[in-house]
Amino acid sequence: MKTISTDKAPAAIGPYSQAKITGDLLYASGQIPVDPATGEIPSGIEAQTEQVCKNIGELLKAAGSSFDNVVKTTCFLADIGDFAAFNAVYAKYFTSAPARSCVAVKDIPKGVLCEIEIIAEV
């Protein structure tokens, strides 16, 4: 098993790693919309989804993978009313249409509006 870590995605805010590779699969921890360079969180679901996807892209790159290799995502929304706006941004990145679960949850760390975790081939 190999640990993936990059300073181009937010550091873990707890006792976990950004991602792990085991066999031919990358398991990435949920990414929230923190800009790793500034620590800032953008406003609004579209901007937050965009930042989450950028963070995921950096983890995929660090693991030698890409969005085309993502096989499953789990998406968490603070408000299911943001579903359509979230999907519009999500669709720009996950063009291979991986399997997905998307649920509304009561709270997400740092009070953000969305979080995405992935499983991808490497």
What's the CATH number for 2-121? 3.30.1330.40
The tokens for 61 are 């790159």
Q: Name the pTM for this structure.
A: 0.96
Active-site residue, selected from the candidate residues 53, 75, 102, 114: 102
User: What pLDDT shows up at residue 38?
Assistant: 96
DSSP for 67-115?
A: GGGEEEEEEEES-GGGHHHHHHHHHHH-TT--EEEEEE-S--GGG-SEE
Q: How many CB atoms lie within 10 A of CB 26?
A: 25
| Active site annotation includes 53 | no
Give the model confidence (pLDDT) of 6-26 as tens digits. 999 998 878 999 999 999 999
Where do the structural domains in the chain lie, given as residue ranges? 2-121
